[in-house]
Amino acid sequence: MYRSIIKYFPLLCLWVSLWGHGQETVRDTTKKSEVYGLRVGIDLSRPLITALNDKYEGFEIVGDFRVSQRLFLAAELGNESKTVEEALENADDVNRIVLYDFTSSGSYAKLGVDFNTYQNWYGMNNSIFVGARYAISTFSKTLNNYRLYDSNRYWNPGTFPEGTDLVGEYSGLNASWLELLLGVKAELIANFYMGVSIRLGVLITDKESEVLPNIWIPGFNRKTDGSRFGVGFNYTLTYLLPIYRKARKKPAAIAE
């Protein structure tokens, strides 16, 4: 599904841009008006981590649509894959034993709202925002290697015997969660925006395999034992596709 979205994404952007350009030609003559439109882009952090970490691959499309002076509908679509390992090691990294390693990969979608708390001067469209998302992720997990714990290590004092029965892929896994976020977006040049946000997620549902718990969930990040909370961030570059203009509301007068 996400491959189809990415395939036709440039055509959608072109259509919206042309339609927005047509709207600009018939804009009203209100002096104090603001641009409303669709802002789309990518999370820059995921391609960067992909280039630096050979155990991770990820890509995320982000977007928001302004519905009022301060309120935005927002969404993120992404795909991630990460290999996680658990090892026994000492301070000198001598005789390091990998107990197991697995690869978790899948897609996710997030949908919600952002509220801009920053009062812009006329002509500016920056934001300091708080937001919320409902997110879902579908993924599979492949157990690549594992070792069996054996208290009798007379014949293999430096390691544990390797297991083979459980190696393989476990599909049909999914999770859902709520996210609260805090972030900023600033206009670099005309219609181009740089943004950053930090996110706190809490799991609602978590379907696991019978072999391994969901230690790492695409879109959610790492989940620790005994906790349903996760932390994440994104660092975005987006472009605003203008669709129409709307008169700016005057700030409420401060009572003396």
Indicate whether 118 belongs to any domain: yes
Q: How far apart are CA 38 and CA 245, in angstroms?
A: 12
Q: What are phi and psi of 136, to 5 degrees?
A: -135, 150
What pLDDT, on a 0 to 100 scale, did the predictor assign at position 162? 66
Is 223:204 a contact under the CB 8 Å cutoff?
A: no
pLDDT band, residue 201 (cuts 50/70/90): very high
State which residues form the domain around 32: 2-247
Q: What are phi and psi of 27, to 5 degrees?
A: -65, 155
Task: Say whether pLDDT at 23 is over 80.
Answer: no
pLDDT mean across residues, the chain: 81
Task: Say whether pLDDT at 256 is over 60.
Answer: no
Indicate whether 254 belongs to any domain: no
Q: Phi-psi category of 95—alpha, beta or left, where left has phi over 0 and alpha has psi -120 to 50? A: left
pLDDT band, residue 12 (cuts 50/70/90): very low
Indicate whether 95 belongs to any domain: yes
Indicate whether 256 belongs to any domain: no
What pLDDT, on a 0 to 100 scale, did the predictor assign at position 245? 87
pLDDT band, residue 225 (cuts 50/70/90): confident
Q: How far apart are CA 64 and CA 106, in angstroms?
A: 23
What pLDDT, on a 0 to 100 scale, did the predictor assign at position 154? 55
What percent of the chain is predicted at pLDDT more than 70? 74
Look at the chain and report how many structural domains it folds into. 1
* Mean pLDDT computed over 29-45: 84
Indicate whether 253 belongs to any domain: no
pTM of the full structure: 0.77
Beta bridge partners of 199: 181, 232
Indicate whether 21 belongs to any domain: yes
Task: Say whether pLDDT at 210 is over 90.
Answer: no
Task: Say whether pLDDT at 19 is over 50.
Answer: no
What pLDDT, on a 0 to 100 scale, did the predictor assign at position 199? 96
For residue 162, the 8-state DSSP code is: B
Of 199, 195, 179, the closest CA to residue 187 belongs to: 195
Residue, of 159 and 254, whose pLDDT is higher: 159
Of 41, 15, 4, the closest CA to residue 188 belongs to: 41
Identity of the highest mean pLDDT range in 60-74, 78-92, 206-220? 60-74
Indicate whether 100 belongs to any domain: yes
Q: How far apart are CA 198 and CA 180, in angstroms?
A: 9
CATH number at residue 172: 2.40.160.20
Q: Pairing between strand 221-222 and 56-66? A: unpaired
Task: Say whether pLDDT at 239 is over 60.
Answer: yes
* Mean pLDDT computed over 138-155: 74
